[in-house]
Amino acid sequence: MMWVYHSPIGNIFIKRLKDGRYGMVYKGVVWESCDSPQAEADNVYMHVTGCYDWDRLDGTIYDVPHDLSEWETC
């Protein structure tokens, strides 16, 4: 399964990686990975992904999904 958030900087995906972890993917780059998709969604919400384009927007975007259930499945 894969999830997408249509963010102000473009689509951000959470997808299962070959090693079984879940990664945040933006513009085809895996920026980080976590043991669960929810943990990855939390990192996106908190703007602690390692992706400067996203993390720099902390405090400026107010409609970021709070939970993985708010992400669209694809």
Per-residue pLDDT of the chain (74 residues; tens, 9 = 90+): 899 999 999 999 999 999 999 999 999 999 999 999 999 999 999 999 999 999 999 999 989 999 999 999 99
**From CA 69, how far away is CA 57, in angstroms rounded?**
22
Q: What is the pLDDT of residue 29?
A: 98
CB distance 7 to 49 below 8 Å: no
Q: What is the pLDDT of residue 1?
A: 86
CA angle 72-31-70, nearest 5°?
Answer: 20
Phi, psi of 41 (to 5 degrees): -60, -35
- Residue 43 CB contacts under 8 Å (≥ 6 apart), including other chains: 24, 32, 34, 49
